[in-house]
């Protein structure tokens, strides 16, 4: 059970005592959405985030025997430009190691960051998403408030594209070093492919899993600041089917705990 739960605009927020209990709660919420979609439609498409923040969520989800994974098609949020799927930092590799190789998915559609024509790859992936619209997107919030690789300087709440080429800001690139994806800041690619905020808002359900003290300022900005592209995650307050899962560390700066 959460230690606290509340609503900010449309966004359901719950705070859990530990990172593990947070991951379990968000996985249970995602499982219920996936199973309901399979029961109603016979299949479910899901977009997964790839980051260390998702480790507990993905571990709990792949162990959930109540999900008929043969009916699930997986997409992912983003990928570094120029990295092959074999690279240790590749998000395709991350999801294969933590989910795809463990469950019998119907399909896993990979976003090829190493494509020679990134604009063509963005268009290809957008067509795939349009052909099987996801019922659920699993998200994190970045240290700069980003969603996927939509950093503040790249964010457009009215973007007409579902997938686009983006430039990563320095805060985002430093986070990739903090997360252990790269040893040096200069090794982090400057561009990526990313799904966009309007696409997340159109997806019926969103489960946002955000553990850790490094995210506490971004969480505060997203929940207590204005809904503004300068904090892309603030847009989730407009999502009628989104739930944000925090632990004590990520919730620590919220005013309700500091009055």
Torsions phi, psi of 184, nearest 5?
A: -130, 150
% of the chain residues with pLDDT over 90: 88
Whether the Cβ atoms of residue 237 and residue 219 lie closer than 8 Å to each other: no
Sheet with strand 4-8: strands edge to edge: 4-8, 11-16, 242-247, 205-210, 136-139, 44-48, 72-76, 107-108
Mean pLDDT of 80-94: 93
Sheet with strand 191-195: strands edge to edge: 78-80, 191-195, 163-167
Tell me the β-bridge partners of 166.
192
pLDDT of 208 over the 80 cut = yes
Mean pLDDT of 151-164: 95
The backbone region for 145, taken as left when phi is positive above 0, alpha when psi lies in -120 to 50, beta otherwise, is left
pLDDT band of 178, cuts 50, 70, 90 = confident
Joined together, the tokens standing for residue 161 give 């594209």
Mean pLDDT of 246-252: 97
Poorest-pLDDT segment among 95-109, 139-153, 178-192: 178-192
- Cα–Cα distance measured from residue 165 to residue 126, given in angstroms and rounded to the nearest whole number: 12
pLDDT of 207 over the 80 cut = yes
Which residue in 140, 138, 143 sits closest to 213, CA to CA?
143
pLDDT of 148 over the 90 cut = yes
Q: What is the pLDDT of residue 171?
A: 81
Question: How many Cβ atoms are within 10 Å of 86's Cβ, its own excluded?
Answer: 9
pLDDT of 175 over the 90 cut = no
Q: What is the pLDDT of residue 28?
A: 97
Domains annotated for the chain, with CATH where assigned, are 4-252 (3.40.50.1360)
pLDDT of 103 over the 70 cut = yes
pLDDT band of 197, cuts 50, 70, 90 = very high
Q: To the nearest whole number, what is the mean pLDDT of the chain?
A: 95
pLDDT of 181 over the 60 cut = yes
pLDDT of 116 over the 70 cut = yes
Which residue in 256, 196, 179 sits closest to 220, CA to CA?
256
% of the chain residues with pLDDT over 70: 100
pTM for the whole thing?
0.95
pLDDT band of 112, cuts 50, 70, 90 = very high
Q: What is the pLDDT of residue 83?
A: 92
pLDDT band of 259, cuts 50, 70, 90 = low
């Amino acid at each position: 059970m959460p230690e606290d739960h509340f609503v900010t605009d449309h966004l359901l927020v719950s705070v859990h005592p530990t990172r593990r209990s947070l991951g379990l709660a968000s996985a249970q919420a995602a499982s219920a959405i996936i199973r309901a979609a399979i029961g109603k439609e016979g299949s479910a498409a899901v977009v997964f985030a790839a980051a260390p923040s998702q480790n507990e969520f993905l571990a709990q989800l792949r162990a959930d025997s109540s999900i008929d994974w043969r009916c699930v098609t997986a997409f992912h949020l983003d990928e570094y430009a120029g990295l092959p799927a074999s690279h240790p930092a590749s998000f395709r590799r991350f999801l294969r190691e933590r989910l795809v190789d463990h469950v019998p998915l119907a399909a896993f559609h990979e976003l090829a960051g190493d494509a020679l024509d990134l604009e063509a790859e963005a268009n290809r992936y957008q067509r795939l998403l349009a052909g099987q619209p996801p019922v659920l997107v699993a998200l994190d919030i970045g240290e700069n408030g980003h969603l996927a690789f939509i950093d503040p300087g790249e964010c457009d709440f009215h973007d007409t594209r579902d997938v686009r080429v983006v430039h990563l800001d320095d805060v985002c690139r430093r986070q990739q070093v903090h997360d252990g994806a790269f040893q040096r800041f200069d090794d982090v690619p400057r561009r990526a492919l990313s799904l966009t905020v309007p696409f997340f808002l159109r997806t019926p359900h969103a489960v946002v899993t955000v553990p850790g003290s490094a995210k506490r300022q971004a969480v505060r900005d997203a929940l207590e600041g204005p809904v503004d592209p300068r904090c892309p995650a603030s847009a989730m307050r407009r999502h009628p089917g989104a739930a944000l899962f925090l632990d004590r560390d990520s919730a620590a700066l919220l005013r309700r705990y500091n009055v």
